[in-house]
Structure 1
Amino acid sequence: MKRYLSILFLLIPLVCISQNKMLDSLENLISNYKTQDTNYVNLRIKYAARKMFLTPADTTWTTYNNKTLELSQKLNYPKGIGISYNNLGIVKHYFLSDPLKGLEYYQQAYDVFEKEPKFQKYVIGVLTNIGLIYLEQQEYTKALKSFKTLLHNPENKSKYTTEFYIGNVYGEQKKLDSSIYYYKKALVGAELNKRPIFIANIKTNLGVVQTNAGFLEDGLLNTQESLDIIETHNIEGLRVTAYTNAAEVYLQNNNIEKAQYYASNSLKLSEGINSLSTKNSALATLANVYAQKGDYKNALTNYKEHIVLRDSLINADRKLEISRKEIQFKADKDKAIAQVEIERQKSIKNASIIGGAGLVLAAIIGFILYRRKRDAVSKSKEAEFNAKVSDTELKALRSQMNPHFIFNSLNSIGDYILKNDTQSASDYLSKFAKLMRLTLENSEKKEILLSEDISLLRTYMDIERKRFNNTFTYNIIVDEGLDEDNILVPPMILQPFIENSIIHGLSHKENSGVLTISFKAKNDMLICSVDDNGIGRKSSATNKANTENKSMGMAITKSRIEIINKLKNTNGNIEIIDKTKGTRIDVSLPMQFAY
């Protein structure tokens, strides 16, 4: 199963560590302050910066920051407005696990700060938080691009924080050497600046990466040092993350009891602060702990919860909505800039009218030419917008996996465990885990090699054969003229049809069924066929079970092909042929080569 590195909750670029006395002093100042002016707003901002991370479970932070925002708006105080928006984004994104709402607030903060050069130091923090949404949603390329741009920004005075985030990205990509390199660079900066929160957070993530890279002693040492710092400074906002990481490190060091202790406590703490991402990591680690102890029942229970929560955190709809918000924000920004330019042109035109008829005529012609250019640019941006939305929708469709198949597979594993058939359970779980891993990895890709897709389909059909007690066999045929390692296809494009053939055709057949998957070239098109000798569509129509899923699978694949046709200007299609015994599906795709 994939292991997600926990991301730092302290994403407040304005945060610094204060003693309790300073917090008490600030609280008294705010309570006794009589005038609601910009100094009062600054006191509220300073208090939030020092206290928010220490008390992430406090449910009043939304109300507190909203009040600061309202005061700043009444005073027309841009600094207060921008920082309040950023703090609200942090509360929504990290404390309440709502990255969509968090992104809205971050973009509003960015819109305030980018207008004045003196606020550029705050822009760094806001852009960092937006980059971390990309990281959380596994948009690693976008995240890395954002952070490396920030790393070379002259206004970035805390480059060690950016180096830490780059280490996170490389850790998620399993580029462990690069991750360790950036974590160590970040650690040097954090220690020079005497930032215990960052030191503890860098060390806990560095410990996990070093452990995964095989440096068990170094990983264990950094993990223990991180836990010690958290205890010394009472850093509650980091405790959940550190406990989750410690559980993983101790598990790989075969200290099962400590692994269970930290994973269980991380799970309890994450529920207390509503941190879904750390709860997801804790469930995954607990499943591994129980499996190591031979407690397969609890291992399966925790693994099921982890799967459900993981899919809710990183689902296609959320990714699509985040991309839409990102694109819409850019579109609105371009529109605002264009409107300012239009107003400027109107002013120029009015001045030209006063100057004389000749200048009026010149201004009008200039304005017409400008408007034509603006309209052309607008159409270009609209086309780019639509293309990106189509591409994002295609990603969303690719990443969907039938939940009934997932839970049927997990229940089958559970049945083997209850029957004490550990060998079958292990074999089934191994194939299932491989399929899930490959499906998630490929959901981000537009195309994969035909050989990779065949391997995916083979694993999927092996699982289904085992689930249906080997009541059918399958063949995969590739024409001799096709090079599997050079042809590109959309990932798992045939999976819904194969699933329909197995469930609606072959599973109802009295004797053994045969499923044939074939690939051939025809008129610059790749013909992908799914052929079964099942009971056929007419007989299957009388069986109402899974009708909705069958329709959904067909609809999703049709949508994928329609979007591919739109993006590539091709004529891919789906053809259904009813045979005397069984059904054949022909999917026509444009022939594409890797090189």
Structure 2
Amino acid sequence: MLAQVSSKTQNSNTTFTVRGSVIESDTKKPITNVNIEVNGGSYTTTDFSGNFRIEVKKGDELTVKHKDFETVYYIIESNERITIEVKPSADELQYSKNKYSRTNPILFKSLIDSAETNLKKDAKKSIQFIEKALGTSNSAQENSEAYEVLGDIYVFWKQYDLAVSNYRISLQNKDANVVKLKLASAYKFNKNYQESLQTYNRINKKELSNWQLVQLYEGLGDVHLLTMSYEASINAFKEGLKVAQKHAISSKITDLNSKIAQVYNASGENKKAEGFFNESLKLANNQNKKRAVEEKIKVADFQNNINNYSSEIELRKEAIKYIKDIQRDSIIDNKSDLTLQKQNYKIGSAFALKKDYVNAIPYLKKSIEEADDREDIIVQKDATRKLSEVYRDAGEFDKALVAYQSYVDLVDKLYTIKEQEISQAARFSKDIVAKQNRILSLESDRALSESKYELNIEQAKRQKLIIYSLIGGLFLLLVAAFLMFKYIKQQRLANNLLALKSLRSQMNPHFIFNALNSVNSFIASNDERTANKYLTDFSLLMRAVLENSEEDFIQLEKEIELLKLYTKLEHFRFQDKFDYNILIDETINVSEFVIPPMLLQPYIENAVWHGLRYKKTKGFLEISMAQTNAEEIKITITDNGIGREKSKALKTENQQKQTSKGMGNIKKRVAILNAMYKDKVDVYVDDFQDAEDTGTKVIVTLKKD
């Protein structure tokens, strides 16, 4: 069954109720007990009339599930009435054993052509054509071709492990050098570098065409570059360049010159890299505009790497002229470097590195506007952050703060988008794996049907055919089990990463709010110098926090720097409430330990805000780090504040109704990270002393990798 969604838009608010119904498309009968939920956590079901209502926010993803039809996913844009009509699927494939009889090869070819036509448009539809083609296949040659195209589909949609499996099945049906080259490339994309090298080296070079031979050497060079075997990479690329020059394969001559330059650049031989880049740039200018601008951008990146910003800027300005012409004739994806917003951002960054802020600002603003028009939030975020830094370095702190606040908003927006992309990618991967398993099952059934057909013709070969069929079926089941195991493992990892991102995105909102209020109070009291000093330290801390926000662990040395800076800021605001001391054992090798970013900050914040701040006399905060043995260190945070119980008693009635999520988030982060990395962190919180001012002690035990 398929479902179709339609909606009637009404007024939209920050939080609103969506009403809807689920009905059959032909009879208009309501469907009851349909599961309705949103990614924010709200859940309901349809009633006896097929109606539902649920609380949502704009941007939430509505999920509609029922055992009798395909799951529906819908992004909420406004307060709208949603109608979901369910109808039988006209496109659902039906299989029966009589379809595996001998068929017309013209039909097989037509299905393969249809699969290739839809390869870049619709992965599911393309795979369906492959399923049909395998159902009509009449030979090992046709099986090989079908699995080869299926591997091509998975490569394009970046499902490289599945691509490897299907190319191998293709080669089992028929040995072909073109498929071996594709298999080696798929191994490379899947980061199976040794398997990729072995596959390339096993190919008989004498059997290859000139173009294929260049592909082989280029592939070898790519793998050696990825494994940082620079000498081997250069040798492979140069061998490919000799073949390309000998047979006048112009496009590959340009590509290989450029790749040799990239290897020299990676290995630090900038002079040699510059020579090959100049050659590739000259060759690319004689080709089409798109290839020319691609090479200009590569050379511009190289000029940036060697700090030649003036040359970089000129090359990017030339590239922009070409990009404008290219965009008139074709659609350029935001992930491509051939976009105006990316090049203007890099020009602005280059001017900033030259400390030419007057020229940097216009290009960064232009990049932000173009990124906003093209909905390229990643470039918009980076350009906004760079603009804030340029304003700050130019001394325009008010504008820097405004730009930085815009940057923080964009980061939050990007987190939401990334979470949705992860969810959609997981669903896509699940659907692809399901279709792959169906194909493998279809192949198993087809093999068994053909074996029965052969048994009716040649009774003498019965035992042999049964054995081969069982072996083939077992192999396919093993492949299917392996793919399912890998998918479940990837799904579990994706869920953990998504949970960590969600928890990290909730860190320190009230600290940022309180810090900005402090800056506001300094400005209101005409203490501009103090405000600027506080804002500078605060921006350094926020920048470091945001830079580390994507990491599960950071070096202990970085966490100590963040800790010192954060404690300094809190002491700056409450100098009359407490003094502090940070003691780090000199025997600790901080480079050997890693720690979840900002793990300790909430405990220090609790000590200051809920313990020391309410103390009648001046309190003291001590942070110490000591190595207990060769494999672990102990971090202790102690204060002589009023203690946890007394702090709870001082809360207002309204504060008691509010639940602090800081400690809960820390516990969840530690639990997830320990599950992923085998118990690296342990946290213990207790009262410090038995006196009027109880105080609090937090002990964090950190284990080495």
TM-score normalised by the shorter chain: which range applies? Answer: 0.5 to 0.7
Alignment-derived partner of residue 696 in structure 2: 584
Alignment-derived partner of residue 57 in structure 1: none
- The offset of 1:331, in angstroms, is 4.8
Gaps of 5+ in 1: 1-71, 86-104, 129-141
Distance 1:433 1:366, change over 3 A: same
2:490 to 376, 380, 385: 385
Alignment-derived partner of residue 406 in structure 2: 305
Alignment of 1:386-425 (within 5 A): 388-389=493-494, 392-393=497-498, 395-396=500-501, 399-400=504-505, 401-413=507-519, 416=522, 423-425=529-531
Which letter maps to 2:287?
A: N
Alignment-derived partner of residue 676 in structure 2: 567
- Residue 214 in structure 1 maps to residue 307 in structure 2: yes
1:438 to 540, 544, 551: 544
2:660 to 551, 568, 576: 551
8 Å CA contact retained: 2:644, 2:696: no
* Superimposed CA distance per residue, residues 221-267 of structure 1 (whole angstroms, 9 cap, x where no aligned partner): 32443455567888698444444444344444455444444344444
Alignment-derived partner of residue 285 in structure 2: 191
8 Å CA contact retained: 2:500, 2:672: no
Distance 1:206 1:424, change over 3 A: farther
- The offset of 1:405, in angstroms, is 2.4
Distance 1:253 1:297, change over 3 A: same
8 Å CA contact retained: 2:281, 2:299: no
Distance 1:514 1:159 in 2: 69
Distance 1:428 1:80, change over 3 A: farther
Distance 1:261 1:563, change over 3 A: closer
Q: Which moved more, 1:498-507 or 1:410-419?
A: 410-419
Distance 1:149 1:467 in 2: 59
Alignment of 1:11-90 (within 5 A): 77-85=114-122
Alignment of 1:362-373 (within 5 A): 373=478
- The offset of 1:397, in angstroms, is 5.7
* Superimposed CA distance per residue, residues 177-203 of structure 1 (whole angstroms, 9 cap, x where no aligned partner): 79x9798787456423231x5645765
Alignment-derived partner of residue 610 in structure 2: 504
Distance 1:362 1:240 in 2: 61
Distance 1:376 1:251, change over 3 A: closer
8 Å CA contact retained: 1:398, 1:491: no
8 Å CA contact retained: 1:290, 1:298: yes
Higher relative contact order (CA 8 A, sep 6+): 1
8 Å CA contact retained: 2:444, 2:473: no
Distance 1:146 1:416, change over 3 A: farther
Which letter maps to 1:533?
A: N
Which letter maps to 2:286?
A: L
8 Å CA contact retained: 1:395, 1:443: no
8 Å CA contact retained: 1:500, 1:550: no
2:444 to 345, 349, 359: 345
Which letter maps to 2:583?
A: I
8 Å CA contact retained: 1:244, 1:266: yes
8 Å CA contact retained: 2:559, 2:598: yes
Distance 1:504 1:163 in 2: 64
Distance 1:109 1:188 in 2: 40
- Residue 538 in structure 1 maps to residue 639 in structure 2: no
Alignment-derived partner of residue 493 in structure 1: 599
8 Å CA contact retained: 1:204, 1:245: no
8 Å CA contact retained: 1:533, 1:582: yes
What TM-score results when the alignment is normalised by the length of structure 1? 0.62
- The offset of 1:577, in angstroms, is 1.4
- The offset of 1:306, in angstroms, is 1.9
Q: Secondary structure at the match of 2:615?
A: coil
1:276 to 372, 377, 380: 377
Alignment-derived partner of residue 58 in structure 1: none
Q: Secondary structure at the match of 2:510?
A: helix
Distance 1:162 1:552 in 2: 55
2:621 to 505, 515, 528: 515
Distance 1:468 1:393 in 2: 36
Which has more helix, going by share of residues?
Answer: 1
- The offset of 1:290, in angstroms, is 3.9
Distance 1:163 1:505 in 2: 65
Distance 1:291 1:183, change over 3 A: farther
Distance 1:437 1:176 in 2: 33
Which letter maps to 2:501?
A: A
Distance 1:338 1:246, change over 3 A: closer
- The offset of 1:462, in angstroms, is 1.6
Distance 1:166 1:399 in 2: 41
- The offset of 1:125, in angstroms, is 6.9
The percent identity for this pair of structures is 22
8 Å CA contact retained: 1:435, 1:460: yes
CA RMSD in angstroms, aligned pairs only? 5.4
Gaps of 5+ in 2: 1-90, 93-109, 131-144, 160-187, 194-217, 224-239, 241-249, 333-338
Distance 2:526 2:192 in 1: 50
Which letter maps to 1:591?
A: K
Which has more strand, going by share of residues?
Answer: 2
* Superimposed CA distance per residue, residues 258-307 of structure 1 (whole angstroms, 9 cap, x where no aligned partner): 44443444444444444433433443344345445543222221221122
Distance 1:438 1:496, change over 3 A: same
8 Å CA contact retained: 2:541, 2:562: yes
Which letter maps to 1:396?
A: K
Distance 1:548 1:453, change over 3 A: farther
Aligned length: 481
Q: Secondary structure at the match of 2:623?
A: strand
Q: Secondary structure at the match of 1:389?
A: helix
Distance 1:453 1:184, change over 3 A: farther
8 Å CA contact retained: 1:297, 1:414: no
Distance 1:239 1:331, change over 3 A: closer
* Superimposed CA distance per residue, residues 529-561 of structure 1 (whole angstroms, 9 cap, x where no aligned partner): 322222222232242587799732212221122
8 Å CA contact retained: 2:599, 2:666: yes
Distance 1:464 1:127, change over 3 A: same
- The offset of 1:432, in angstroms, is 3.1
Distance 1:499 1:382 in 2: 40
Q: Secondary structure at the match of 2:614?
A: coil
1:336 to 435, 439, 444: 435
Distance 2:189 2:540 in 1: 26
Alignment-derived partner of residue 463 in structure 1: 569
Distance 1:246 1:194 in 2: 24
2:396 to 295, 310, 324: 295
- Residue 528 in structure 1 maps to residue 645 in structure 2: no
Distance 1:187 1:414 in 2: 53
Distance 2:592 2:626 in 1: 14
- The offset of 1:443, in angstroms, is 3.7
Alignment of 1:143-292 (within 5 A): 152=222, 187=281, 190-195=284-289, 199-200=292-293, 203=296, 210=303, 214-227=307-320, 229=322, 238-253=339-354, 255-291=356-392
Alignment-derived partner of residue 142 in structure 2: none
What TM-score results when the alignment is normalised by the length of structure 2? 0.54
Distance 1:418 1:444, change over 3 A: same
Distance 1:216 1:272 in 2: 28
